[in-house]
Amino acid sequence: MKEVLLCKYGEIILKGANRRYFEDLLLRQLKRKASVHGQFNIHKAQSTVYVEPLDQGADMDGMLADACKVFGIISIARAAVCEKNMESICQTIRAVAPAALRGVRTFKVEAKRSDKRFPLDSMEIAAEAGAAVLESVPGIRVDVHHPEVTVRVEVREYAAYVHAGCIKGAGGMPVGSNGRGLLLLSGGIDSPVAGYMMAKRGMTMEAIHFESAPYTSPMALEKVLRLARLVAEYNNDEMIVHVVSLTHIQEELVRNCEEDYFTLLLRRYMMSIADRCATMCHCEALVTGESLGQVASQTAEAIAVTDPLASRPVFRPAIGLDKEEIVEIARRIGTFDTSIEPYEDCCTVFTPRHPRTRPELSKVLAQEEKLDFSALVDEAVAGMYRVVVHPGQEILVP
């Protein structure tokens, strides 16, 4: 029996005259996902993208799993395809219902008649389809108010489709529809979530990671690259990671500045370097995983001290989330288990015992003047290198 994935639009429906642009991005991303699962015909009609396998070798399970990671789609139905007549529709229901409704006690049928030339209206289609379900699944009964499963029949332009429920899609907007952002990617829980959240709003993400070798290990970098690979599944199947050493900067801070200011000063260096990197890779915004008040460098006063180093917007999609909310998203997108692996990152090196939480900018600048800020930033940027990761690809640490 022929199957198809019906991928329903989300916000794209509201885009008016620009809708074609967003649809084309969505199709391109689905085709990229499909390329590893076999031969598919992917096309759009009536606010839906159809993903049709062209041969028996096409992996529908894998394609469905990957389609759930494409932003711009709110729901996906794996539907059986049949001719547009009630005999064929009911025959298809009798074939698929026993397996689809195994163990189910109650159901209802909803019908959608997009092709108004079809001789029966939606209520009549649902009545006949419901009779076919009752005939083919012993013991099941109708419950129109609180069914365990809703069987749907969609009569569309070229065929009819039968399915028993939709899977929730990723939502959001197609990646690439809202510019480019540079994610400050650490090895923690928050920053991969921030990258995912901005990709969901249509922003193509690159990343910058700060290391402190030899105080941080190659395993710490490898962990970050694995996190980038997981985020890449939502980001056009690619993540470019720019790696920058902060070792010299941190050693200079220890030698010349008061300990209480280490974290703030380091964050100012990181923001300045990230801003330079964003200019080089044509990113319009910086993205961080900061959550207000979570740590000393994420108070309102501390953020006010670090933000002036950026010449472009700094997006903080997790700023109003608590830790449990961030963890829930991390678990859902598959980054949590990697994030909690016990490898150190640059922010754990030379950590002050009592960091400033409500700093005064004048005092921070007085500490910063003890170093040649511009020269240290230039040195760090000059030593920057990049690693490109893809889902399923082996991680090779440079």
Of how many residues is the chain composed? Answer: 398
Q: Residue 247 pLDDT > 90, yes or no?
A: yes
The answer to whether the CB of 112 falls within 8 A of the CB of 62 is: no
The answer to whether the CB of 73 falls within 8 A of the CB of 169 is: yes
| pLDDT score at 351 | 72
The answer to whether the CB of 288 falls within 8 A of the CB of 321 is: no
The answer to whether the 3-170 and 180-389 domains have the same CATH topology is no
3-state DSSP helix/strand/coil percent for the chain, to nearest 5? 40, 20, 35
Lowest mean pLDDT among 177-181, 243-247, 342-346: 342-346
Which two three-digit tokens encode residue 353? 């015992």
Considering the chain, what is the average pLDDT of its residues?
A: 93
Coil, helix or strand at residue 71 = coil
* Residue 226, H or E segment: helix 218-232
| Residues 373-387: b if buried by 16+ CB within 10 A, e if exposed | beebbeebeeeeeeb
| pLDDT score at 233 | 96
Q: Residue 350 pLDDT > 70, yes or no?
A: no
Which two three-digit tokens encode residue 299? 């108070």
Q: Where are the domains of the chain?
A: 3-170, 180-389
CATH of domain 3-170: 3.30.2130.30
The answer to whether the CB of 185 falls within 8 A of the CB of 191 is: yes
| pLDDT score at 347 | 66
The Cβ of residue 83 has, within 10 Å, a number of other Cβ atoms equal to: 12
- Taking only the tens place, the pLDDT of each residue in 206-219 is 999 999 988 888 99
| pLDDT score at 258 | 87
Q: Residue 348 pLDDT > 70, yes or no?
A: no
- Taking only the tens place, the pLDDT of each residue in 279-310 is 999 999 999 999 988 887 788 988 999 999 99
Burial of 2 (0-12, 13-18, 19+ CB in 10 A): exposed
- The separation between the first and the last C-alpha atoms of the chain, rounded to the nearest angstrom, is 49
Q: Residue 225 pLDDT > 90, yes or no?
A: yes
Assign 1 a pLDDT band (cuts: 50, 70, 90). Answer: confident
Q: Residue 151 pLDDT > 80, yes or no?
A: yes
Q: Residue 62 pLDDT > 70, yes or no?
A: yes
| pLDDT score at 352 | 65
- Taking only the tens place, the pLDDT of each residue in 187-197 is 899 999 999 99
Give the CATH class of 180-389: alpha beta
* Residue 45, H or E segment: strand 40-45
Torsions phi, psi of 140, nearest 5? -80, 150
